[in-house]
Amino acid sequence: MVIGALAEADGPRSAAELSRAIGESVPLSSLYRSLAVLEEVGVLAPHYSSPGLTRYELAEWLSGHHHHLVCIGCGRVQDLEADDAIERRLQEIVADVARAASFAELNHALEIEGHCARCA
Amino acid sequence: MVIGALAEADGPRSAAELSRAIGESVPLSSLYRSLAVLEEVGVLAPHYSSPGLTRYELAEWLSGHHHHLVCIGCGRVQDLEADDAIERRLQEIVADVARAASFAELNHALEIEGHCARCA
DNA sequence: TACTCGAATGAGAATCATTAGCAAAAGGAG
DNA sequence: CTCCTTTTGCTAATGATTCTCATTCGAGTA
C-alpha cells in the first residue's frame, strides 16, 4: 500500500500523509516499521526538507532520476525530471565539483527553492 | 556567539553542535530562541539533511552561494563553492528546468551525496 | 537615585514525530 | 493439533524543539 501510494504521488510524502492516503487503517507503528524496512532494502529513499519530519519517495531505480522543487510557501516538494541533454550537462558539473573536493559521488539532486504555481 | 561559531564552521551545524561549540554556557532555550530570531531576520538559513534535526548555516548573502556535500557515512554536510564558470552553467540549467515547471525560483543548491574523504 | 513597565532570560513542562518494548495473534513445519 | 518463530498493534519512551511563566534586566522618567 505504501509503494502504491508513493507511486501515485508527485513528490515525497511523510508518514502522516501516507497514513491518510492509505486510509488510516494501518496503525502508525506498523507503518513506520514498513517504512524502515523498505528504506533498508533500498526501495524507498528518505527526503528531508521540513523541520522534524521525514518524507519518503520511491528510490530512483524505481521512479527514475529526478530533482526537487521545494515550495517556500506551502512546504510541498514536487519531483521534476530534466531531459537528457540537461541531465548530461548537470552530471558533468557534479563530477567536476565532487572531484575537486575529493568526494566520492553516489548521487546528486538539484534542490530548487521558490514558489510553486499555486503559491506564486 | 552563534554567528561566530557558524563563520568558523565548514558546513551547517545543529543546535547541539553549536551549544558544544560555544561552551554549553548558554541555556538551550535561549539558543533555540536566538536561532529562531536569526533565521527570521534572514541571517541564518536552516538546512535539513538528517532525520529529526535542523542544522543552520549563515545565509548566502553572508557566506556566499554554495552547494552541499552530504556524507552518507558520517552524516556530515560540507559546504562547497563552485567556480564562476560552473556556477554560470548551473544557473542556466536551473532557470531552464524551473521555467519548464512554472516554478518561481528563488534559490537553488546542488546536494551531492556520497562518501567524504574520511569515510571513503 | 528610586520607580515603572515592557522586553529578554532561564528552567522546566509540553509537544510532535519517531522508536522501542512487549504481550498477544498469526503462520508454518512436523 | 502443537510448538516455535515472526509479525502485529498498543503503549510507553525518546529526542529535538517549542511553549509557559515567573524572574530579571534595562531604558526612560520623575
Cβ separation A93–B111 shorter than 8 A:
no
- Chain A residues near any Cβ of chain B (below 8 Å): 46, 48-54, 67, 69, 71-72, 78, 80, 82, 86, 89-90, 93-94, 96-98, 101-117, 120
- Give the residues across from B71 on adjacent strands: B114
pLDDT in tens, B85-94: 889 988 998 9
Q: What is the mean pLDDT of residues A1-28?
A: 92
A117 pLDDT band (50/70/90 cuts)? confident
pLDDT at A7 over 80: yes
Helices A84-100 and B84-100 cross at an angle (nearest 10°) of: 150
In B52-118 the beta strands, taken as DSSP E runs, fall at 53-58, 67-71, 77-80, 104-115
Fold classification of B65-120 is: Dna Ligase; domain 1 (3.30.1490)
Q: Which CATH architecture has domain B1-64?
A: Orthogonal Bundle (1.10)
Q: For strand D, list residues 33-92 of chain A whose Cβ lies within 7 Å of it.
A: 33, 51-52
pLDDT in tens, B69-103: 988 877 788 899 888 988 998 899 899 888 888 89
Q: Could you tell me the maximum CA-CA distance found in chain A, to the nearest angstrom?
A: 50
* pLDDT-above-90 percentage for chain A: 63
Q: Do the domains at B1-64 and B65-120 have one common CATH topology?
A: no
A61: DSSP letter: H
pLDDT in tens, B5-60: 999 999 999 999 999 999 878 999 999 999 999 999 999 999 998 999 999 999 99
- Give the residues across from B45 on adjacent strands: B57
Domain boundaries, chain A: 1-64, 65-120
Q: What is the pLDDT of residue B117?
A: 83
Q: Which nucleotide is nearest to B28 (CA to C1')?
A: C10
Lookup result for grid cell 508513493: A6
Q: What is the pLDDT of residue A71?
A: 87
Interatomic distance B29 CA / C11 C1' (Å): 9
